[in-house]
């Protein structure tokens, strides 16, 4: 199957599992910066972590692979939703 490697996409992903107090947001920010993806990540009151990430399919996959392979993070479930691309978004931020 062929898909456009350079087309920008945006996804909202809610992560469940051992995803808070394990460096998740820091690792997500570093991985997004390294891949060139933009968006944001934040902790939720229910113990989940929400991330909106924008980039190519390859960039987003790189970030997810980094998170899945991180030492103390255990992702049990991810809820993924496609969103509209935000024009002119410049960076990835950790929200508090």
Residue 20 domain-assigned?
yes
pTM for the structure as a whole:
0.92
Sheet holding 9-18, edge to edge: 74-83, 9-18, 49-55, 38-43, 92-94
Evaluate if residue 1 carries a pLDDT over 50: no
* Catalytically annotated residue among 10, 25, 46, 69: 25
Describe the chain by its helix, strand, coil percentages, rounded to 5. Answer: 25, 40, 35
Question: Residue 7 CA to chain centroid, in angstroms?
Answer: 17
CA distance readout (Å), 83 to 1, 16, 26, 52 = 22, 20, 23, 9
Q: Tell me if residue 43 is catalytic.
A: yes
Structural domain including 83 reads 9-94
Q: Tell me if residue 25 is catalytic.
A: yes
Per residue in 50-84, pLDDT tens? Answer: 999 999 999 999 999 999 999 999 999 999 999 99
Domain of residue 33, CATH code: 3.30.70.100
Residue 1 domain-assigned?
no
Residue 4 domain-assigned?
no
Question: Residue 37 CA to chain centroid, in angstroms?
Answer: 9
* Catalytically annotated residue among 43, 71, 88, 95: 43
What value does the mean pLDDT take over residues 22-51?
Answer: 98
Q: What's the domain count of the chain? A: 1
């Amino acid at each position: 199957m062929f898909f456009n490697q350079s087309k920008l996409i945006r996804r909202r992903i809610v992560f469940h599992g051992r995803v808070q107090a394990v460096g998740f947001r820091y690792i997500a920010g570093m991985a997004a910066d390294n891949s060139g993806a933009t968006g944001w990540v934040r902790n939720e009151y229910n113990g989940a972590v929400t991330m909106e990430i924008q980039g190519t399919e390859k960039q987003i996959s790189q970030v997810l692979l980094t998170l899945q392979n991180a030492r103390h993070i255990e992702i049990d479930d991810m809820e993924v939703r496609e969103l509209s691309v935000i024009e002119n978004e410049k960076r990835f931020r950790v929200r508090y």
